[in-house]
Amino acid sequence: MLGFALGPIYPVTMHDTASRFEEAGARLVGYQVAACSVGVAVLPGVVGVIGAWISPLLIPPVMMVLAAGVVLLEVRRRRHMTPHGVG
């Protein structure tokens, strides 16, 4: 259910970036794709290694830290937005 609910975020973000940032949009979409690829390749492995080497009980707190990081990044992004959407 969570995957189904969060699935549209990636394509909508890609679409909106190009329209919000005009000329720099294409370059920024490239950075977004690169960051997503690194995250998909690295984060599951890191969480798995932490769970295997230390304790599987650490997986939920690690996921909470990652979720808090996403929330903090979003809050920071919204603070730096200008009224026209570029910031």
Domain-by-domain residue ranges, the chain?
Answer: 2-79
| Rounded-to-integer distance, Cα 15 and Cα 32, Å | 11
Contact between 62 and 45 under an 8 Å Cβ cutoff? The reply is no
| Rounded-to-integer distance, Cα 87 and Cα 80, Å | 6
Nearest alpha-carbon partner for 49 in 36, 59, 35: 59
Digitized pLDDT (tens) for each residue of the chain, 87 residues in all = 767 776 787 788 888 887 888 788 888 888 888 988 898 899 889 999 989 999 999 999 998 998 898 889 888 878 877 655 555
Contact between 18 and 33 under an 8 Å Cβ cutoff? The reply is no
Q: What is the CA radius of gyration of the chain?
A: 16
Put simply, whether the predicted model's pTM sits higher than 0.85 gets the answer no
